[in-house]
Amino acid sequence: MDFTYFTGWLMLLSWKRLMKPFYLFITKAGIACKRRLTVFVCSLLSLTPLFSQTSNISGIVNTYHKIIEIIPAKACVRVADITGLDINSYVMIVQMKGASVDQANGASFGTVTAMNGAGDYEIGTVCYIIGDSVFLFHNLLNTYNYTSGKVQLVQFGQYYSANIVDTVKAASWDSTAGTGGVIALFADQDITVNAPIYADSSGYAGGPHYSHTGNCNPIVGTGYFYNPAAADPTNGAYKGEGIATVTSTNYLGGRGAYANGGGGGNNHNNSGGGGSNLSAGGLGGRNSSSGPFNCNLNNNSGVAGWPLNSSSGTKIFLGGGGGAGHANNGTALSNYGGNGGGIVFIWATNLWGSDTISANGGRGGASTSDGAGGGGAGGTIVLNINNYSPTVKIKTNGGNGGNSNNSAVNNRCFGGGGGGSGGAIYFSGPVHSNAFMDGGIAGQESNSLGTCSSRPGVDGIDGTGFPGYVFPRSTDPAGYCTVLLPVQLISFNASLVNKKVFLKWEVGNPADIKWFVIERSADANQWTTLRSIATNNQVHQYNMIDENPPAGKNYYRIRFIEINTSISYSPVKLVITGDHSFTVYPNPASGKISVRGNFTTPADMRIADMSGKIIYQKNITTAAAEIDLPHLTAGIYLLWLNQSVQKIVIR
């Protein structure tokens, strides 16, 4: 073979994975639909970088959309704002809240009595957008409580390959807006982690600081809930946030944990409990001061967040926020609870690099002669990856509890905040060797004087890694999407044979199409018509040969002119023409090959099987290299060197 077409071939695989089934469309009704056609065409053109290059990315790459209604019969969700949403993009639908809890004033306060869909999620693909309505290619798996469960739609950052060049971040969870806290990335091939993917402290909020009045004598708060801003001196500090929405201001404070949010320290000067995920957080430290305030053995610190149940991974959660410490000295505003970690979802063939993917919980705030804050729980990471670099670090650690400074006052001992629990990490293969899900450490106590004995906080429990995970995704086609998109493109292939480009395509309903216009471009921007082909109502498969493609990159697309004169476009295909810059011998080979040529070094050499999976990678520093191959099953493979590719046979 004296040609290279691997990039175009990968584009076909990418398109099939992204767009099964993919239907080109043109709406046949109204001005609004014509406007949507423009969006659709632009979205197709914007996919060109996905199929032709590595994208350097940083910052917030997702868009977040509050769901205000769901219409299951049409696989449709209505969102508060469609800004940034694209047709054909992957999206995550996830319910952030909605659980019910025990509200009795006792030791079981805040335990989850019903999940009510909290944590349910799935991955879908957008087929059409009209007004505020987003239609999906497949019917929904779950029934979501969008009226009170704070359900959001998160659009993926979607690439052919992506290089993280500066920190990729999550927009922090905003409970009022009902959005944020999630990073979702898709790459058809590689994601290279050269900078952090960072969702630390992006989850449920820790309890905020509040400066109370008075001291513990003669009244001590023993209840599990209080309005933290009330004048009653028995009140407790703010609880951390979790998967249940607080239904009354009376439940905002006090030592009882509210679902996976840690409890706030009660009057007087007790510390907050750590937040939780699938594991429990740690109990807050207790004020064990003695002397004139008579607060000795005050066991009313914040209860740790309750552990949640989703070992199957059908539910995913933000880390619970830590509870705040009780404060009355007003010396600092730093004894808040730590925020929980966010959610990170990554879907790619390969994960390279040596930086960190993290959804750690935040540390609880420190205190001076007051209660300290509990740590936030680690969040959730889902990795649907075929091949990992062993140097990538993956973390959902719980936040440490806040330290407590007794300010060198006689007979005062204020225990530190409880640690947040470790989070959860789901792997499509085995658990990665460089994964960390440690529980947060309880806050430390310092500068104690006198006879009081320390009653410290408790560490959070470690989280869990789950192997062999399959994320939830519907495969049931949505019939309404087919109605919206009447023109059906079944396949479109482009390949280079003997220096000619062979184009082949198939449509499901040729009777709706009048002309196929085949176009070529050198930059996927300026297009030239190569040929117009009239359709035959009875023929579904068509082809054309570009006899004289210029050397270099050649982009191809088909413009569909329908019977009603409407216009739509195919996906874009890339074929690279020109001679190979290297040779491989022997071919067939076994055990060892020699690579010779006129190519730039150092060069990235990869060997892929015919499904496109990269199974071997090596950096070549000379233009004449001897390479010892790993053990490969006999068959045909693709050897990719920089931008050129050749088939090799292993025997």
* pTM, full prediction: 0.72
The tokens describing 345, both together, are 């979802």
Beta bridge partners of 401: none
* pLDDT tens track for 153-177: 999 999 988 999 999 999 999 999 9
DSSP string, 586-634: EEEEESEEEEEES--SSEEEEEE-TTS-EEEEEEE-SSEEEEEPPP--S
Residues 227 and 253: beta-carbon distance below 8 Å: yes
Residues 291 and 410: beta-carbon distance below 8 Å: yes
Q: Name the region of 98 (left: φ>0; alpha: ψ -120 to 50; beta: rest).
A: left
| Integer CA distances (angstroms), 386 to 328, 629, 635, in order | 54, 20, 20
The pLDDT assigned to 486 comes to: 56
The pLDDT assigned to 488 comes to: 72
**For strand 592-597 and strand 603-608, is the pairing parallel, antiparallel, or unpaired?**
unpaired
The amino acid that residue 89 corresponds to is S
Residues 382 and 185: beta-carbon distance below 8 Å: no
In sequence order, what E strands does 479-622 have? 489-497, 500-507, 513-521, 528-534, 541-546, 552-562, 567-569, 573-577, 582-590, 592-597, 603-608, 614-620
The pLDDT assigned to 214 comes to: 67
The pLDDT assigned to 507 comes to: 86
H or E stretch including 54?
strand 54-59
DSSP string, 285-347: PBB---STT--TT---PPPPPPPP--TTSSB--PPPPPPPPPB-S-S-S--PPPPPP-EEEEE
The tokens describing 262, both together, are 């840690």
The tokens describing 490, both together, are 């079944």
The residue to which tokens 């190979």 are assigned = 580
Helix-strand-coil split of the chain, %, nearest 5: 5, 40, 55
The pLDDT assigned to 577 comes to: 75
The tokens describing 633, both together, are 């099953």
Half-sphere exposure for 599 (CA within 13 Å, toward CB): 27
- Would you call 224 helix, strand, or coil by DSSP? coil
Residues 327 and 370: beta-carbon distance below 8 Å: yes
Give the separation between CA 510 and CA 45, rounded to whole angstroms: 24
The pLDDT assigned to 103 comes to: 97
> Residue 455: what are its φ and ψ, rounded to 5°?
-125, 80
Dihedral, 491, 492, 497, 501 alpha carbons, nearest 10: 160
Give the separation between CA 508 and CA 566, rounded to whole angstroms: 17
* Among 201, 182, 162, 160, CA closest to 60: 182
The pLDDT assigned to 484 comes to: 62
Residues in the chain: 651
Give the separation between CA 608 and CA 239, rounded to whole angstroms: 52
Give the separation between CA 194 and CA 174, rounded to whole angstroms: 28
> Residue 511: what are its φ and ψ, rounded to 5°?
-65, -20
- Residues in the chain with pLDDT values less than 50: 1-52
Residues 126 and 89: beta-carbon distance below 8 Å: yes
Half-sphere exposure for 523 (CA within 13 Å, toward CB): 2
> Each residue of 590-625: b (16+ CB within 10 Å) or e?
eeebebebebeeebebbbbeeebebeebbebeeeeb
* Among 332, 317, 325, 338, CA closest to 399: 338
Beta bridge partners of 57: 164
> Each residue of 146-181: b (16+ CB within 10 Å) or e?
beebbbbbbbbbbbbbbbbeeebbbbebebeebbbb
R_g of the chain, CA atoms, integer Å: 29
- DSSP code of 50? G
* pLDDT tens track for 602-651: 888 888 876 667 888 888 888 788 888 888 888 888 887 766 777 888 88
